[in-house]
Amino acid sequence: MVENEGRLRFLRRSTDPRRTKLRRGVYLLPSLLTMGNMFCGYACVVYAMRGEYATAAPFIGFAVVLDMLDGRIARLTNTTSEFGVEFDSMADIISFGIAPAILSFAWGLQSLGRLGWAAGFMFVAAAAMRLARFNIQSGGGGDKRYFVGMPSPAAAGVIAATVFAYPYGLYDYRAALPALGMVLVPAALMVSTIRFRSFKTLDSKNRKPYTVLIFVAAGIVAIATHPQWTLLVVAYVYLASGIIGLAVTRLKHRGAVPAAAVQPDAARRDTAAR
């Protein structure tokens, strides 16, 4: 009996440290991806200050990919934590708030003087408010298929895709004036209540996985062959999708109100005829 207990203790001591190390490694993986996200934002700022816009802009795209992976891996491995949520928000404000604002200012808004850096600050403030609102609302039971307001990675992607497609810079204030819309429109959409489609449910059971894989493969081919124009189209189509969805929803509601008003009138006419 004593020998059996000794063997059990020996087995527990030999296996417990391995389980602890594995658990710590699983917790560390999402934070490493978040750290990579933060590094991409920092690298974008450094290259933008050096005037290397073609190198700076793709770092925001890399940050978007890492931001998608860290949350998904944390959910799959059941390693979500309050520290991870806060750390992810700090990284996002750098990569999707400060980095695109500095990139847009160095690329074209600098020629507008105070108006340029004020527009950049508006983007940073909108990204910070968007992230704070998302952290508050993420614990609720809202519709997981949609975001309330444009996600900050998508808003930063609009700026990054524009700069990546035309990395030569804008040095005349007349040419830089239209670039204000590139910064202020996504900033306004981030703090709006317009719903934007979320792609977190693409892997749910009610979807056809082969269709999703075909679209993903087509996207990879398009990015590999024509990266500048593909990313530009994707960024602006997603931006327009929220506005188009809002317009369609309002048109449906306006069409439903007259139909509802017609039914009581018809009922009254039928009663009078009887």
Whether 149 is in a domain gets the answer yes
Whether 5 is in a domain gets the answer no
**Stated length of the chain:** 274
**Rounded to a whole number, what is the distance in angstroms from the first to the last CA of the chain?**
95
Whether 164 is in a domain gets the answer yes
Whether 2 is in a domain gets the answer no
Whether 13 is in a domain gets the answer no
| Predicted pLDDT of residue 203 | 56
Whether 11 is in a domain gets the answer no
Q: From 100, 90, 103, select the one nearest 47 (Cα to Cα).
A: 103
141 lies in which domain range?
A: 19-273
One DSSP character per residue, the chain reads -HHHHHHHHHHHHHHHHHHHHHHHHHHHHHHHHHHHHHHHHHHHHHHHHTT-HHHHHHHHHHHHHHHHHHHHHHHHTT---HHHHHHHHHHHHIIIIIHHHHHHHHHTGGGGTHHHHHHHHHHHHHHHHHHHHHHHHTTS---TTEEES--HHHHHHHHHHHHHHSTT---SHHHHTTHHHHHHHHHHHHTS--EEE--TTTTSTTS-HHHHHHHHHHHHHHHHHSHHHHHHHHHHHHHHHHHHHHHHHHHHHHHHHHHHHHHHHHHHHHHHH-
List of residues 6+ apart from 145 with CB closer than 8 A: 197, 198, 201
Whether 120 is in a domain gets the answer yes
- Residues 155, 243: Cα–Cα separation, whole Å: 14
Whether 1 is in a domain gets the answer no
| Total number of domains in the chain | 1
pLDDT tens over the chain, length 274 residues:
445 555 545 444 555 545 445 455 557 888 899 999 999 999 999 999 999 999 999 999 999 999 988 888 887 888 777 888 889 999 999 999 999 999 999 999 999 989 999 999 999 999 999 999 888 876 655 667 788 889 999 999 999 999 999 999 898 888 889 899 999 999 999 999 999 988 765 555 555 667 777 878 888 898 889 989 999 999 999 999 999 988 888 888 776 655 555 555 555 555 555 5
CATH number of the domain bearing residue 263: 1.20.120.1760
| Predicted pLDDT of residue 59 | 97
Question: What is the model's pTM?
Answer: 0.80
